[in-house]
Structure 1
Amino acid sequence: MAIYDNLHVLLFLSSPFSHSILCTGIRHGASAFLKGYFLGGAETTMYDYTLTLGGLAMKVLLLTLNAKYIHSSLALRYLKAYCRPVCADILVREYSINNGLLDILGDIYREKPGVIGMACYIWNIEMTLTLAGLIKKVLPDTAIVLGGPEVSYDPAEVMAGHAAVDYIVQGEGEETLYRLLSSLQSGRDVETIEGLAFRRGGRVVINGGPQIVHDLSCIPFPYSDEDMAQLADKIIYYESSRGCPFSCQYCLSSATTGVRFLPLERVYRDMEFFIRHDVKQVKFVDRTFNAKKEHYFPLWQFLARQNCRTNFHFEIAADILDDEVLAFLAQVPPGRFQFEIGVQSTYEPTLAEIKRRNDWSRIARNVLKLRSYDNIHLHLDLIVGLPYETYERFGRSFNDLYALQPHMLQIGFLKLLKGSGIRRRAGQHGYVFMDTAPYQVLANNYLTYGEVRKLHILEEVFNQTYNSGRFPATLRWLVDCYSGDAFRLYADLAAYWEERGLHSLSHSAKSLFGHMAEFCRYHRLKDAICLQLLKFDALAGEGGVRPEFLPWNGDEWEYVKTRFWRDEATVRQYLPGYCFTSWREIKRNYHIEVFEVNIPHYLAGGELREERTVILFSYAQDRINYQIVQPHDFGM
């Protein structure tokens, strides 16, 4: 769920922890030299600082523990870029929560930094605090600074329980850095700096709360040519705004008000940098990218004009897209944009309680229109555990979104995040949730733990079937068999999975085809039709899976297929420009299969007729294509 997954980019994007990192090393006789510096491209005068500690240049290490290897930290790169004028020797290290603690500790010890800054999020906070304690044992003189959403809202509690932590910086911190550096440079006390937590005389001092940066144009572009080489196989994150126009009570964006934007000319230059480096995907972390048309629409138009292969991912509110924008989106090059749309629920009392404004009729209309264009990947979100939404009512929200047939429908589970409004009112709705991160809901007044557990298994099965994209024809037929009640189908699939212990196993693509076939037999659905649909899905899928148990033609039509491929004039009716080259080329690029039902007619909105149908699959293009071969052209 993007609401949670991107917190590591948004809420620590410009965290003041990096700024105070540099400042911690100025203690005890450190000196600093400041000179005026004008940041290229920015309108704000900044400073070039050179820090020394005891006459030696100080080494600063910024690190985080990402949730997965493919993730990258936009936060650390912002911090390094911003702090480079302060200290030339700034290292960035990204690990994942799957790395061993002692391996990470050894890597840090080898660098022997004077200051270490660590970014803290729901997926890494426990491991990060343990790591901080270990660092202090082997590098007792190193200053440790924490930042990020997991320490910004209860810094006193964190510092009281973890003696290894020297500083905590709350919220966004570029401006806090200047004030902190200025105070330390002139010998003034840091107690006047808002947003800073520090130790004084054996006690923890908290001055103010999380800070924000009002003028984003003063923040430098965070990526370099060297970064692009290092991030070739990772997700690239970017932001063009901070804040959100909504006040959803489950999200930390509700902790601040208003939206701040980067100047468009700056964003254009930044996008040109990514395009020049042929980046595969740029993932915007703006909480609601299309909050302001004067900002987002010119940028979309700019990106649509570019000659590039880069995909741009945006989190948007679908109901505020107007007809002008929708008409434009119909012409966007296929694969250029990817939209994530957080609907979360379609139940009005729930939406009112979490202070989320949804115009469901406009969402449905606009998503269906975007889906019809077939040029933009659509990802819709739901959240389990919101107030007033029972198991049955969640099923209705699920069916509402499923009917729109997004490319992906993500089921997330509510997390009662520190600083969120819903956490402050947890008692009102009887929330039972994890005491430690990620603070995931276990039950409330509307859902029992048993129901939450069932939905966890449903989510897993749904990801392996619908979201995997492996079974579009089979699942469409199964939903029809369930009279259109998709939620009941997936609930039955989840029960089937659990009864056989499949929910605790990993599955290959081939084994999933077998489980789907067995599910149809178990529920006494038409086995012969199910196998034909599974065979179609196997041939139309990207993975090239050919489960042996499916009713393949084998040698039955081999003579007819050979004659077809030899007849170039006939084949050109289906494949313009076709010329017979070799059987190896044909086998690699094409496949003909005879089915006992007319699946293309069914997928186009018709009935599933039991009639022999010849389908030609083409693998020669970027996308797998299929078409019906007329019986007289196939010699039938």
Structure 2
Amino acid sequence: MKVLLTTLNAKYTHSSLALRYLKDYCQDVCELELLEFSINNQLLDMLGQIYETKPDCIGFACYIWNIDLTQKLIQLVHKTLPNCKIICGGPEVSYEPREFMLGMPEVDYVIQGEGEVTLHTLLDQLEHGEVSEAIAAVTRRDRNGDVLEGHAIVVADLNTLPFPYHDQDMKALADKIIYYESSRGCPFSCQYCLSCATKGVRFLDIERVLGDLQFFIRHNVRQVKFVDRTFNAKKSHFMPILEFLAQADCQTNFHFEIAVDYMDADVLAVLKQMPVGRVQLEIGIQSTNELTLKQVCRVNHWDDIVHNITTILGFHNMHLHVDLIIGLPNEDLVSFARSFNEVYALKPDMLQIGFLKMLKGAGITAMAKEHGYVFMNMAPYQVLSNMYMSYGEIRMLHTFEDVFERYYNAGRFRNTIQYAISMLGGDAFAFYKKLTCYWEKRQFHLIAHTTKSLYQYLYDFCKNIDFLQMQHIEQLLLFDALLADHGSIRPLFLPWNQDKYQEETSAFWRGDIVQNYISEYVFTNWRDLKKKYHIEVFAFDIITLIDSGKVIQEPTAVLFCFDEGGTSYQKIVL
């Protein structure tokens, strides 16, 4: 029997950890092949590749981002390979398998919960020609066509699962994000999350984990993204991992989702030792409204969150990503603005704004009537309104999120916007909401944009704010443009002055004084120099304005150095 395991990833750069676990765990049963697509592939192209493999059985991993397209693909597979058995698994079919199978007569079996052991049993029985009705986590049809529903199970001992990556796999995965888990389950029971459906946390042995990580390091993997729901759930488990990574000799980046308020001084001390770029942390804050948090069974220790995030950012050695959710119970627009401002004030590298989804299996679905939820009845089940936010407000916040992605999370305009917010009394939400209204009024949400155009839009928007000095905005936009994109994007409307000071800058580069600022500097040619460095003379002391808000009216030369690690700058004397 030939079995094909497949899924549609959300992006080309993603890879499927689940399929690799399933393939390795079941390889002693029959011939298995793995085939990954993305949701951007064409249906007929995917069908053609599946048909070429001529499988006797095909398994689809079903998720919120691919379920609609997967169902269409299954229908086409059944038409072209009518004798092929079709198995579905994953969170999108685990929680309402009966309804799914009633709507998809092409599907023969649904595996519920963690699928390794169950798929092994099912494939073994298919290989031997008869499937028992007693496989606990399989929903199937009986001889009369009635759907017999199973129940989800978990793998009790994760150490029985094989390491799902092999040397021969790594070339094909060279440009992909590598996913890895050292635990399953979550110690918390947040009602908007699928993790609330299972209890407890199971861990791989630490010796196994360190050996696995050494494999990734040996292959010089670009990024390993841990899918542990709460990486720092148990100190005796995660601390050795952090200590190992702090000492490792590698270029790989490791991504973790953490509960930052549960980090103590020992953990912070190890994080401080991390080489630049070795780890990045994702922190789910979701809301700062205490009533909201209580409603979804979540506890945020706000003082600890502030202290630990501020401390980690002060290390300047890792990327910090925090999350908020729009649409939670008891959070209206005023409350969300407060949550946004409190988190924004921490100045994370990225603040991701998500919208509540009424996921199958999540506890929040039982609260839908109580809180007046109206939501999409198809994937991604996103909330449209509730008794706290109207659809109009949530629709506006979708544009708000898009604007925020472009102007904050993209890493540009930080200094310009911080100045503008300070001139508006420090209300960051009010600033981005005004920018959102400006964006929608000009229907910018309906068209594509170049990076250069974003500078022009922000400049034009700021001209309509009475409290702003436009000379300050111009100079700050110059500064931000040189900090971002290695200084490669220089909007023509800004007052660049390289030609005005050409004589002074040429003397700087040819003289001895340059060694005081760049110890390793060696002049080669003007072309290479322009790629690595830039000198801009600002109309006032731009760095003092950024650091303290004070304006010192004297021209100030700033040297920008562009390298792989980012852009640095310093005042110089020409």
State whether TM-score is above 0.5.
yes
Change (3 A) 1:184 1:511: closer
How far apart in 1 are the matches of 2:49 and 2:392? Answer: 43
Once the two structures are superposed, residues 496-542 of structure 1 have per-residue CA deviations (whole angstroms, 9 ceiling, x without a partner) of 11001111222111111111111111224321111110001111112
The offset of 1:179, in angstroms, is 4.7
Q: Which secondary structure state, in structure 2, belongs to the residue aligned with residue 355 of structure 1?
A: coil
Residues 246 and 270 of structure 2 are in contact (CA less than 8 Å); yes or no, is this contact kept in structure 1?
no
How far apart in 1 are the matches of 2:48 and 2:116? Answer: 31
The offset of 1:175, in angstroms, is 3.0
Once the two structures are superposed, residues 232-273 of structure 1 have per-residue CA deviations (whole angstroms, 9 ceiling, x without a partner) of 111110000000000000000000000000001111111011
How far apart in 1 are the matches of 2:152 and 2:554? Answer: 66
Q: 2:550 aligns with which of 607, 611, 620?
A: 607
How far apart in 2 are the matches of 1:204 and 1:243? Answer: 33
Q: What residue in structure 2 maps to residue 546 of structure 1?
A: 490
Q: What residue in structure 1 maps to residue 89 of structure 2?
A: 147
Tell me whether 1:136 sits opposite 2:75 in the alignment: no
Q: Which secondary structure state, in structure 2, belongs to the residue aligned with residue 607 of structure 1?
A: coil
Which is worse superposed, 236-245 or 121-130? 121-130
Q: Which secondary structure state, in structure 1, belongs to the residue aligned with residue 431 of structure 2?
A: helix
Q: 2:46 aligns with which of 100, 104, 108?
A: 104
Q: What residue in structure 2 maps to residue 83 of structure 1?
A: 26
How far apart in 1 are the matches of 2:42 and 2:186? Answer: 37
Q: Which secondary structure state, in structure 1, belongs to the residue aligned with residue 282 of structure 2?
A: strand
Q: What residue in structure 2 maps to residue 433 of structure 1?
A: 375
The offset of 1:186, in angstroms, is 8.2
Which amino acid in structure 2 is aligned with residue 615 of structure 1? V
Which amino acid in structure 2 is aligned with residue 562 of structure 1? S
How far apart in 2 are the matches of 1:116 and 1:427? Answer: 39
Note the 1:449-464 alignment, pairs <5 A: 449-464=391-406
Q: What residue in structure 2 maps to residue 61 of structure 1?
A: 4
Which amino acid in structure 2 is aligned with residue 560 of structure 1? E
How far apart in 1 are the matches of 2:401 and 2:131? Answer: 53
How far apart in 1 are the matches of 2:144 and 2:337? Answer: 53
Q: 2:506 aligns with which of 549, 556, 562?
A: 562
Once the two structures are superposed, residues 312-331 of structure 1 have per-residue CA deviations (whole angstroms, 9 ceiling, x without a partner) of 00000000000111122111
How far apart in 2 are the matches of 1:620 and 1:386? Answer: 42
How far apart in 2 are the matches of 1:310 and 1:83? Answer: 30
Q: What residue in structure 2 maps to residue 32 of structure 1?
A: none
Q: What residue in structure 1 maps to residue 16 of structure 2?
A: 73
**Percent of residue pairs bearing the same amino acid type:** 54
Change (3 A) 1:300 1:345: same
Residues 261 and 302 of structure 2 are in contact (CA less than 8 Å); yes or no, is this contact kept in structure 1?
yes
How far apart in 1 are the matches of 2:62 and 2:355? Answer: 21
Which is worse superposed, 603-612 or 484-493? 603-612
How far apart in 2 are the matches of 1:179 and 1:104? Answer: 28
Change (3 A) 1:577 1:208: closer
Once the two structures are superposed, residues 111-136 of structure 1 have per-residue CA deviations (whole angstroms, 9 ceiling, x without a partner) of 11100100111111111111111111
Which amino acid in structure 2 is aligned with residue 159 of structure 1? M
Which is worse superposed, 123-132 or 196-205? 196-205
Q: What residue in structure 2 maps to residue 6 of structure 1?
A: none
Which amino acid in structure 1 is aligned with residue 10 of structure 2? A
Note the 1:309-458 alignment, pairs <5 A: 309-458=251-400
Tell me whether 1:118 sits opposite 2:60 in the alignment: yes
Q: What residue in structure 1 maps to residue 233 of structure 2?
A: 291
The offset of 1:332, in angstroms, is 0.9
Tell me whether 1:216 sits opposite 2:155 in the alignment: no
Which amino acid in structure 1 is aligned with residue 85 of structure 2? A
Note the 1:6-85 alignment, pairs <5 A: 58-85=1-28
Residues 156 and 204 of structure 1 are in contact (CA less than 8 Å); yes or no, is this contact kept in structure 2?
no
The offset of 1:469, in angstroms, is 0.5
Change (3 A) 1:557 1:547: same
Q: Which secondary structure state, in structure 1, belongs to the residue aligned with residue 569 of structure 2?
A: strand
Which amino acid in structure 2 is aligned with residue 175 of structure 1? V
Q: What residue in structure 1 maps to residue 528 of structure 2?
A: 585
The offset of 1:350, in angstroms, is 0.3
Which amino acid in structure 2 is aligned with residue 534 of structure 1? L
The offset of 1:416, in angstroms, is 0.3
Q: Which secondary structure state, in structure 1, belongs to the residue aligned with residue 369 of structure 2?
A: helix
Residues 197 and 204 of structure 1 are in contact (CA less than 8 Å); yes or no, is this contact kept in structure 2?
no
Which amino acid in structure 2 is aligned with residue 477 of structure 1? Y
Q: Which secondary structure state, in structure 1, belongs to the residue aligned with residue 146 of structure 2?
A: strand
Note the 1:514-553 alignment, pairs <5 A: 514-524=456-466, 525-543=468-486, 544-553=488-497
Residues 195 and 206 of structure 1 are in contact (CA less than 8 Å); yes or no, is this contact kept in structure 2?
no
Residues 407 and 467 of structure 1 are in contact (CA less than 8 Å); yes or no, is this contact kept in structure 2?
yes
How far apart in 2 are the matches of 1:368 and 1:465? Answer: 22
Note the 1:273-284 alignment, pairs <5 A: 273-284=215-226
How far apart in 1 are the matches of 2:121 and 2:17? Answer: 23
Change (3 A) 1:456 1:286: same
Structure 2's unaligned 5+ residue stretches are: none
Tell me whether 1:201 sits opposite 2:201 in the alignment: no
Which is worse superposed, 182-191 or 227-236? 182-191
Residues 120 and 151 of structure 1 are in contact (CA less than 8 Å); yes or no, is this contact kept in structure 2?
yes
Which amino acid in structure 2 is aligned with residue 342 of structure 1? G
Once the two structures are superposed, residues 41-72 of structure 1 have per-residue CA deviations (whole angstroms, 9 ceiling, x without a partner) of xxxxxxxxxxxxxxxxx211111111111111
How far apart in 2 are the matches of 1:433 and 1:414? Answer: 9
Residues 26 and 116 of structure 2 are in contact (CA less than 8 Å); yes or no, is this contact kept in structure 1?
no
Change (3 A) 1:556 1:400: same
Q: What residue in structure 2 maps to residue 263 of structure 1?
A: 205
Change (3 A) 1:340 1:253: same
Which amino acid in structure 2 is aligned with residue 347 of structure 1? N
CA RMSD of aligned residues (A): 1.5
**TM-score, normalised on structure 2?**
0.97
The offset of 1:201, in angstroms, is 2.3
Residues 245 and 274 of structure 2 are in contact (CA less than 8 Å); yes or no, is this contact kept in structure 1?
no
Once the two structures are superposed, residues 71-107 of structure 1 have per-residue CA deviations (whole angstroms, 9 ceiling, x without a partner) of 11111111111111112x3111111111111111111
Change (3 A) 1:577 1:554: closer
Tell me whether 1:504 sits opposite 2:446 in the alignment: yes
Q: Which secondary structure state, in structure 1, belongs to the residue aligned with residue 212 of structure 2?
A: helix
The offset of 1:146, in angstroms, is 0.4
Change (3 A) 1:347 1:240: same
**TM-score, normalised on structure 1?**
0.88
Q: 2:417 aligns with which of 475, 484, 487?
A: 475
Residues 465 and 471 of structure 1 are in contact (CA less than 8 Å); yes or no, is this contact kept in structure 2?
yes
How far apart in 1 are the matches of 2:520 and 2:231? Answer: 44
Which amino acid in structure 2 is aligned with residue 529 of structure 1? H
Change (3 A) 1:385 1:292: same
Once the two structures are superposed, residues 548-607 of structure 1 have per-residue CA deviations (whole angstroms, 9 ceiling, x without a partner) of 110011421111111222211x11111114343332332222111110122222333352
Residues 5 and 35 of structure 2 are in contact (CA less than 8 Å); yes or no, is this contact kept in structure 1?
yes
Change (3 A) 1:358 1:433: same
Tell me whether 1:230 sits opposite 2:172 in the alignment: yes
How far apart in 2 are the matches of 1:163 and 1:111? Answer: 23
Change (3 A) 1:183 1:265: same
The offset of 1:371, in angstroms, is 0.5
The offset of 1:405, in angstroms, is 0.3
Which amino acid in structure 1 is aligned with residue 387 of structure 2? N
Residues 159 and 204 of structure 1 are in contact (CA less than 8 Å); yes or no, is this contact kept in structure 2?
no
RCO higher in 1 or 2 (8 Å CA, sep ≥ 6)?
Answer: 1
